[in-house]
Structure 1
Amino acid sequence: MSDTPQSPNESDERASVEDGVSEASAEASIAGLVEAERALEAEEAAVAEAEDAAEREEPQDDETVADPPAPATPEPAKKAPAAKAAPAAKAAASKKPPARRSLAVLGSPIAHSQSPALQKAAYGVLGLDWSYEPVEVTEETLAGFMDGLGAEWRGLSLTMPLKKAVLPLLTEVDLVAEQTGAANTVLLDGEAVRGFNTDVAGIVRALAGAGVASARYVHILGGGATAASALVAAAELGAERVDVHVRDLTRSVWLEPLAHELGLMVRLRSLAQADRSLDVPELVISTLPGGTRPEVLYTDSTRRRAVLFDVAYEPWPSTLATAWAAVGGTVVSGLAMLVHQALLQVRIFVSGDPLEPLADEDAVLAAMLDAVGIDAAGVPLEA
């Protein structure tokens, strides 16, 4: 018996069916996949074209478009960045400092302070509409006062007894404040609360104005925070020896490590011994509080030869200044230091940098000197 021959198509079809899938159905599946892929590509192209068209129609910041046409295809992904940008812009705007800034000088007592007159004179020349007022603040109330300051606050000037008390409240301090353990200037710079000591430079610049550029042997009267600034200033003037005369030796021993760090030979002595040395100092810096009668009496010869720089300026003339003037000695008023340290404070409040000169700084300094009634040498002007 012989087999009946089969055509090739019949053979292939039987083989395909035997494998469980017909060739016709497989081709139909492939065609469906290709058509679906083409449809997806067309849909993606349509979405991309709609997005491009929406971007071209979107107005710029300085343009206004009335009733823009709604896009044919919803664009939730495109609108999400715009929704996020608005709060960010609002936050940035809220952090922008106001044009009018607030500043103050803090201390107790503070009513006598000349700082408002100085600072207001400076801002008048600079054309800045900034306020600067005296505020009675004690060591106990300082932290609460600073916590309550708003975004309009730019900075603070500090007098006694706050120069040391402020240190724990600062996020950073400059080198001089770190050396002396005292900050007389606070810059409120965003989240940062930065402390500076401008007293040292104020002393050096005030003495330079009076013609004192160097001093080998210096007496310092008093052992408080300003005495530490005077010690650093003496080192900047090239001093080799410094005698610090104080009422209570035990409360002033903290000055010795600072003097040694500065490379100074230092002696702590009582005020009663201030004029017991045969060596006449070239410079006497008194940091004693104004209105107190010092327990010290220098000879006429010493008062003629040594320059007196009296940090106190209220009341004026001080007891020491009167004694120096009686023999024709040279006296530099504490107002000169106040002016120069305040000038550096203004630099800090304006630019954040005590080394950055102000615009037209000579005019600013002249206005500040005039505001407190002294000349460039620190001598009170005649009434």
Structure 2
Amino acid sequence: MSDPSNRRPDDETAEPAVEDGVSEASAEAAIAALVEAEREAEAEEAAVAEAEEAEEREEPEDAVEPADAAEPPAAAPSKPAKAPAKPRTTKPRAAKAPSRRLAVLGSPIGHSQSPALHRAAYDALGLDWSYEAVDVTEDALPDFIAGLGPEWRGLSLTMPLKKAVLPLLAETDRITDQAGGANTVLLDGEAIRGFNTDVAGIVRAVQAAGLEQARYVHILGGGATAASALVAAAELGAERVDVHVRDLARSAWVEPLANDLGLRVRIRPFSQADRSLDVPELVIGTLPGGTVTEAVYTDSTRRRSLLFDVAYEPWPTPLARQWESVGGRVVSGLAMLVHQALLQVRVFVSGDPLQPLQDEAQVLAAMLDAVGIDEQGAPLEG
């Protein structure tokens, strides 16, 4: 064997040098392992940075566990412990603006149940639409509508806005023309379209209570709601209608509308509400809640006739108490409110009150629950 002391530095055939007991080959292997470990660490840091950037862009990132780093050869020097990664901070997400805005208008309007009904419907449909109550007077209505932006989809209206809105509408449906008022406004691009869902709301509420049709109907009251009740009576197949009012002189509109609807009508004072030998299948009260009238019905009539009272606050109304005292059937105005609101939702979603909603049964159930009544319009127990 040759003497290492005689070997020249540039002798290519010389055996690898050994320094401090570690060969050059072992040192090179250790250095390569360190380089590979550093690359893996850099790749891991790049993955963390990318995940943080994705989170800031609100893109969901699946959590990925980093792969175990390859163990260095036994001869390699140990790698210094890596400093713990800084905890990732998540930026608070800004609340998204609703894709559509809607509201019920009136004055006063704070008592309205419409926001609860519509919000329940849009939640059931999975729509991020907002619905609020806004106090708007008759005089302020034109400017309010003119100032609405493109995010607005529609409006619900209470009296007296149902009549005040008519000159502002580019298009109205048949029921609006017959009843003389629109309770629903669809903001459809440049067009402002008006609908009346009150009539169908009465019809659907009465039918849900088990009365499919009514040939003889009494209506109490001669205001704007009475006009919708008269049209609803025609939709229910009525042939005769008695309209009982406080002021006969202010009820001149009744006969022309009844003639257009093909109804035989009699206009009488409240005191003559139950002077006929015929018992009506349906009595519709259109008076404000809490109103006391001279209309008095016999026990027999109250047991046999269905009372539908459009009022619901306060409840029960004086008329409803008369019916309940003898075990008569009573439906409150909440049932009408739910069904007319369901048709408004149809209008706002599809532009057509006759187009059923997706999963409409579930939507209706959510709306009924929101105001505490069952499918037949009776208050939920508990």
Quote the residue 1:118 is aligned against: 117
**CA shift at 1:159, angstroms?**
0.9
Deviations along 1:259-315, one digit per CA (max 9) or x if unpaired, are 111110001111121112222111000010112222311111111111000000111
How far apart are the structure 2 equivalents of 1:109 and 1:291? 17
Off by >4 Å, runs of 4+ in structure 1: none
In the alignment, is the contact (CA less than 8 A) between 2:289 and 2:314 conserved in 1?
yes
Identity %: 77
How far apart are the structure 2 equivalents of 1:382 and 1:318? 19
In the alignment, is the contact (CA less than 8 A) between 2:99 and 2:128 conserved in 1?
yes
2:367 counterpart SS class: helix
Within a 5 Å distance, the mapping from 1:125-274 to structure 2 comes to 125-274=124-273
**CA shift at 1:110, angstroms?**
1.1
Deviations along 1:95-129, one digit per CA (max 9) or x if unpaired, are xxx96111111112211111000000000001111
What count of residue pairs does the alignment treat as equivalent? 286
Within a 5 Å distance, the mapping from 1:82-97 to structure 2 comes to none
The reply to whether residue 298 of structure 1 matches residue 286 of structure 2 is no
How far apart are the structure 1 equivalents of 2:271 and 2:166? 33
In the alignment, is the contact (CA less than 8 A) between 2:98 and 2:130 conserved in 1?
no
AA paired with 2:330? Answer: V
**Structure 2 gap segments, 5+ residues each:** 1-96
AA paired with 1:347? Answer: R
How far apart are the structure 2 equivalents of 1:289 and 1:164? 18
AA paired with 1:295? Answer: E
- Please identify, of 248-257 and 350-359, the stretch whose mean Cα deviation from structure 2 is larger: 248-257
**Structure 1 gap segments, 5+ residues each:** 1-97
How far apart are the structure 2 equivalents of 1:296 and 1:99? 48
Give the RMSD, CA atoms, in angstroms: 1.1
How far apart are the structure 2 equivalents of 1:275 and 1:141? 42
Quote the residue 1:311 is aligned against: 310
Q: TM-score, normalised by structure 1?
A: 0.73
How far apart are the structure 1 equivalents of 2:161 and 2:291? 20
Quote the residue 1:109 is aligned against: 108
In the alignment, is the contact (CA less than 8 A) between 2:124 and 2:363 conserved in 1?
yes
AA paired with 1:239? Answer: A
Change (3 A) 1:107 1:99: closer
How far apart are the structure 1 equivalents of 2:129 and 2:248? 43
Which structure features the higher share of helix residues? 1
1:341 counterpart SS class: helix
Deviations along 1:238-279, one digit per CA (max 9) or x if unpaired, are 111000111111111112111111110001111121112222
How far apart are the structure 2 equivalents of 1:255 and 1:148? 36
How far apart are the structure 2 equivalents of 1:271 and 1:143? 37
Deviations along 1:143-180, one digit per CA (max 9) or x if unpaired, are 11111111111100011111111101111100000111
Q: TM-score, normalised by structure 2?
A: 0.74
AA paired with 2:339? Answer: H
- Please identify, of 351-360 and 268-277, the stretch whose mean Cα deviation from structure 2 is larger: 268-277
How far apart are the structure 1 equivalents of 2:258 and 2:189? 35
In the alignment, is the contact (CA less than 8 A) between 2:373 and 2:380 conserved in 1?
yes
1:160 counterpart SS class: coil
In the alignment, is the contact (CA less than 8 A) between 1:374 and 1:381 conserved in 2?
yes
Within a 5 Å distance, the mapping from 1:315-330 to structure 2 comes to 315-330=314-329
